[in-house]
Amino acid sequence: MTLLDGADWQGRIFSGGWVKGAGEPHDSTEPATGKTLGRVGAATPADVDRAVAQAAQAQRGWASLRYVERAQILRRAAALFEKHHAEIAEWIVRESGALRPFADVQTSIGAAEECHEAAALAAAPYGEVLRSIEDRLSFSRRRPVGVVGVISPFNAPMMLAMRAVAPALALGNAVVLKPDPRTAICGGVTIARVFEEAGLPDNLLHVLSGGADVGATLVDDSRVPVIAFTGSTRAGKAIATAAAQRLKRVHLELGGNSALIVLDDSDLDKAVSAGAFGSFHHSGQICMAASRHLVHASIAEEYTARLAERADAAAVGDPMTGEVAMGPMIDQRQLQATHAVVSDSLAAGARLAAGGTYEGLFYRPTVLADVPLTARAYAEEIFGPVAPVVAFHDLDEAARLASDTEYGLSLGILTRDVAKGLALADRIPSGLVHINDQTVNDEATVPFGGVGDSGNGSRHGGTSANLEAFTEQQWVTVRSEIPGYPF
């Protein structure tokens, strides 16, 4: 029996088991073919209210369990992700349009490895003994926050949900997950099924697909003290504003306009390959994508020509039917938004070196040369398979150009002189820096996040960041007897 054949999930939400949501179920559609993949249940604000109440009640018993019992469930979940790897990866390919290697990464690193790391996190030291001027034992300890709200996007639906779901559960919290409706099966139903099979007690995980009103209700609920959100900067700012009214913590992983800086001493062929991957991987629908190629003027023309050759040679098509370099974009709205950026940038003076065309939801990998700094392709996050190339003449100009954005998510610097690369990186605000690599990198063990409009500086991932993200610090003192006071 396959993982998704093992439960009656069609047209239902996961909230105390598989139940009918108050919203109208909708079809999940394969972007490459337009075929219907399944019927997804939909939640409403009323479902959120009920789920949070159930989660808050169940969380107390979960937090009181010995850490080894929580760890065992996370390890079982990891084993199930590994056992059903092929099935889950196929759902990711079909529902999100990802290539199979990217789907494999999301299942192994984004799901199984997150669960393995979370199982270890459950056993991590969670406090420290503190000095005190009084005659007493003084220490701090980490306590679960209670209910964690997770709002995940369409582009890497499994990975970007599990990096919050797994550590939050491991640390004794309950979770209410709202996946993007466009990828609610691979980014929601499969996660619910794994934890259901792993023996997670009822009501500790709720998976509620729905519209913006569902997310807004989750953010506004005073019983949900922490929100982990991955998505656009516009939506993230709205969530931060709403959460501030409740004085609740938000972990925001938002957009990017990341620079890939190619110095004149780089291995040009390898640099072009890295640049193509950084911009075209998953049709550019990645927050860390290389959105601006800043290339030394002495090699910019050749770099652009070689990058255009790679783009023209790339096969674009249905990732389920053969070897392709790129699959479809998620929907017509995202494709048209990308095409508008390209069209407006050409009108502003950029030169089309490759691509710029599409058929259905398949957008050709696109290279823009001689991009003016006023063009949208330079100034904005594109979230499509577009590589704008801008030349620089010295390191001061490279640092200025790379810093010339409200975003600060990822930075790649390609050079044979590693010390020079590190020194340059020190001049550019960025949450992530990769010397001699492109900008798209992530692992379960690292504290991930950006600065500026790429996030609020908060992090989760890795032991210390996850403890900070999903627990509260509590100060405790213990005396052998009650002291006397002058009253």
CB-based contact 429:414 (threshold 8 Å): no
Contacts of 420 (CB under 8 A, 6+ apart): 263, 395
Dist CA 106 CA 88 (whole Å): 9
Least Cα distance to 368 among 307, 288, 447 occurs for: 307
Of the residues 114, 115, 287, 380, only one is catalytic, namely 287
287 belongs to the catalytic site: yes
Dist CA 467 CA 473 (whole Å): 9
Amino acid of residue 29: T
Half-sphere exposure of 185 (CA within 13 A, CB side): 29
Task: Write the CA distances from 148 to 7, 55, 121, integer angstroms.
Answer: 25, 9, 17
Contacts of 301 (CB under 8 A, 6+ apart): none
Whose tokens are 């996007």? That residue is 153
Q: What are phi and psi of 55, to 5 degrees?
A: -65, -40
Of the residues 253, 380, 381, 468, only one is catalytic, namely 253
Amino acid of residue 222: S
> Is the CA virtual torsion 107, 13, 53, 211 positive or negative?
positive
**DSSP structural state of residue 25:** P
E-strand ranges in 123-170 read 127-130, 137-144, 147-151
134 belongs to the catalytic site: no
Amino acid of residue 224: V
**DSSP structural state of residue 5:** G
**DSSP structural state of residue 182:** G
Active site (catalytic) residues: 253, 287
